[in-house]
Amino acid sequence: MLMATVITEECINCGACEPECPNTAIYQGGVEYDWQGKKHPAIAGEIFYIVPEKCTECVGFFDQEACAAVCPVDCCVPDPARPETEAALLERAKEIHPDKEFGREFPSRFREGAGATAAETAPVPAAAAAPAGGAAPATAQELPSSDPAGFEIPIVCRTCQGEYRVAFRFLSPGMVLRCPHCGVNFTATQRLYLAIAARLERFGSVMNDEIDRHVQALQSEQELFEENVVDIQGSAEREVRRLVDEHTEPPKRSIFG
């Protein structure tokens, strides 16, 4: 049987991967899957699973596997025992999506530079370019995120005492998580969710204030830096001009005056 990406036993059942799949190849454990107009028994009962016949490793859609990009515990991985070629995956994508046009430059994780982060591939803004003296402005540094959704919540398993982390966006009430160490389920209550949400709201507000203060300080420092650079360059130019005048003999007058 063909096999592409698989979900390992470390899955915590957060469900982040399911809506990201362009082929609807991901299903919750125990849920039947659709394929070729028929219902088929679930491949896994405890954790989310990927239907291999429907998986294209996102070739033709993205430059990396969408499920792996959003997985908080990195449990969506290509099966090393059954590697597949880009050509085979693209053919499968064409079969699943007969109405979609796949151009010559289709996205693929097999392409050079695929999977690079936005910070690695995005062009440098003009404001972040180094000024004429070679020094980079302080505002070019990366600022921390104040988005509560991405804040990692530490969860300690009451059974094995193992700790794992889940982004707050995956901690909604009723969401069943699974300890990657022993497999015991954990379900966040509404009381826990609201308490953390209130605390993270305060965190976001304080962080935004600090970011604003930091940016303003950097802007003031940048303005002072630019003014000082102009003054230093002007002083050096005046000094060099004086030295040139001092060390240059005046032209000699001819005998004709």
Angle at 203 between CA 206 and CA 195, to 5 degrees: 145
Considering the domain architecture, whether residues 142 and 92 belong to the same structural domain is answered as no
Residue 226 belongs to a domain: yes
User: Are both 86 and 167 inside the same structural domain?
Assistant: no
Choose one of 96, 129, 152: the last residue of a domain.
96
pTM > 0.95: yes or no: no
pLDDT for the residue numbered 116: 42
Are residues 228 and 151 both part of a single domain?
A: yes
Beta strand 163-167 with 152-156 is: antiparallel
Contact 154, 136 (CB under 8 A): no
Looking at residue 141, its pLDDT comes to 58
pLDDT reported for residue 179: 86
Which DSSP category does 98 fall into? T
The tokens of 254 are what?
A: 């001819």
- Note whether 150 and 225 are same-domain residues: yes
* Measured distance CA(156)–CA(116) in Å, rounded: 32
Distance CA 5, CA 18 (A): 13
Same domain, 148 and 234: yes
pLDDT for 118 equals 34
| Residue 184 CB neighbours (<10 A) | 13
Quote the number of domains for the chain. 2
Q: How do the pLDDT tens digits run along the chain, 257 residues long? A: 445 789 998 899 988 999 999 999 999 999 999 998 899 999 999 899 999 899 999 999 998 899 998 998 889 988 776 778 889 999 999 999 999 999 888 999 887 655 443 333 333 333 333 334 444 444 445 778 888 888 889 999 889 999 988 888 888 887 788 888 888 888 888 888 899 999 999 888 898 999 899 999 989 999 999 999 999 999 999 999 999 988 887 777 766 65
- pLDDT for 109: 84
Claim to verify: residue 68 and residue 143 sit in the same structural domain: no
Residues 177 and 242 in one domain: yes
- The rounded distance, in Å, linking the Cα atoms of 36 and 18 is 19
Q: Are residues 222 and 172 in the same domain?
A: yes
Residue 61 is predicted with a pLDDT of 93
The SS3 call for residue 29 is: coil
pLDDT of residue 168: 87
Residue 117 in domain: no
Given a contact cutoff of 8 angstroms between Cβ atoms, the answer to whether 114 and 108 are in contact is yes
Residues 86 and 146 in one domain: no
What CATH number has the domain bearing residue 48? 3.30.70.20
Q: Is residue 182 assigned to a domain? A: yes
Shared domain for 167 and 233, answered yes or no, is yes
206-228 as b/e, with b when 16 or more CB fall inside 10 Å? Answer: ebeeeeeeeeeebeeeeeebeee
Asked if residue 121 belongs to a domain, the reply is no
CB of 42 closer than 8 Å to CB of 27: yes
Range of the domain at 77: 5-96
Cα Rg of the chain (Å, integer): 30
185 lies in some domain:
yes
Instruction: Give every CB contact of residue 108 below 8 A, 6+ residues apart in sequence.
Output: 59, 60, 63, 86, 89, 90, 114
Identify the helix (H) or strand (E) that includes residue 40. strand 38-40
Q: Would you state the pLDDT for residue 139?
A: 43
